[in-house]
């Protein structure tokens, strides 16, 4: 039986790396793509291929796809995992940063999908897996731009699914919840960098506290849990259109489905409500470790790798 060929973006760490390794274990020929190929040694050691690619650079993306097609003649599975989370009040986030987030999380995803589709369509087979988030179904204060990109991925995926069904190509959305990866730390730092000393400072501190608690909670999952879900989806005879993972993510998405907007607003406000201490600390802002341990630029590079 011919081995299927998979391309996984954002494969230098976290969900992307674990997905590449899981697909290798299941017999796929796997290409992991990231800005820094050197960070994908685990994939190479496991028998996969590492390929340098920046999803925001059209030349880089085309070169990567052309290489895979030249070496393998096909791409059967595309896992669009590259992305990052940048937080901060909408009023505080520069529009250039908002555009950057869309370039990585939405346009980068769409661009590489355009390049792999002709071959899939001609063979009348293939699977596109778009890594969204429960953030594509719910919302948080200070997360407007990130959530906007994930809502966009959800809508893009739905349209693409019905568009490609007559051509034999499947589209699957994965909605991770709290997963212990670099994403959480990057998001916390960006919130404090953008809004830690503004009128939204108390909310920024509350957001950081809430994200930290989510990362440490029993409901948080490890990257390999999402990787297994992705692998199950691409090997299923008839995959579901969406997979929320882990179990806590299924609960949150289900809750959003049944609660009216105003009720869900109330729930979100209570979860992210600043404490008296956070209000007091915000009235006398200081340089916070969360905002200085890494710059937003460094965070973007790691997350989009």
Dihedral class, residue 126 (left if φ above 0, else alpha if ψ from -120 to 50, else beta): left
Residue 74 CB partners (closer than 8 Å, separation 6+): 5, 119, 123
Catalytic residue annotation: 12, 132, 146, 150
Query: Apex CA 289: angle with CA 286 and CA 295, to 5°?
Result: 110
Q: Are 146 and 86 in contact (CB under 8 A)?
A: yes
Q: Which residues pair with 130 in a beta bridge?
A: 80, 173
| Paired tokens of 232 | 């199950």
Say how far apart CA 283 and CA 187 lie, in whole Å: 23
Q: β-pairing, 170-176 with 49-52?
A: unpaired
Q: Which 8-state DSSP code applies to residue 135?
A: G
Whether 48 and 31 have beta carbons less than 8 Å apart is answered as yes
Distance CA 30, CA 48 (A): 5
Structure tokens at 147: 């959530």
């Amino acid at each position: 039986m011919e081995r299927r060929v998979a391309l996984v973006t954002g494969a230098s760490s976290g969900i992307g790396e674990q997905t590449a390794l899981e697909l290798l274990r299941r017999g796929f020929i796997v290409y992991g793509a990231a800005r820094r190929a050197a960070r994908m040694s685990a994939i190479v050691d496991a028998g996969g291929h590492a390929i340098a690619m920046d999803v925001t650079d059209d030349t880089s993306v085309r070169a990567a796809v052309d290489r895979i097609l030249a070496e393998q003649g096909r791409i059967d599975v595309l896992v669009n995992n590259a992305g990052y989370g940048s937080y901060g009040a909408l009023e505080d986030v520069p529009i250039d940063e908002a555009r950057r987030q869309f370039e990585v999380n939405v346009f980068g995803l769409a661009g590489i999908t355009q390049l792999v589709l002709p071959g899939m369509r001609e063979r009348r087979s293939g699977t596109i897996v778009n890594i969204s988030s429960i953030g594509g179904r719910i919302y948080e204060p200070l997360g407007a731009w990130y959530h906007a990109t994930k809502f966009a991925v959800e809508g893009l995926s739905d349209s693409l699914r019905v568009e490609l069904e007559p051509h034999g190509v499947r589209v699957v959305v994965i909605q991770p919840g709290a997963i212990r990866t670099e994403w959480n730390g990057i998001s916390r730092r960006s919130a404090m960098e953008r809004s830690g000393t503004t009128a939204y400072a108390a909310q920024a501190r509350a957001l950081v506290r809430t994200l930290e608690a989510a990362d440490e909670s029993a409901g948080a999952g490890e990257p390999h849990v999402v990787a297994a879900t992705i692998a199950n989806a691409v090997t299923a005879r008839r995959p579901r259109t969406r997979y929320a993972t882990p179990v806590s993510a299924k609960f949150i998405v289900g809750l959003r489905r049944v609660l009216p907007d105003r009720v869900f607003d109330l729930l979100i406000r209570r979860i992210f409500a600043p404490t008296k201490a956070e209000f007091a600390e915000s009235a006398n802002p200081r340089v916070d470790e969360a905002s200085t341990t890494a710059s937003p630029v460094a965070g973007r590079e790691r997350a989009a790798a």
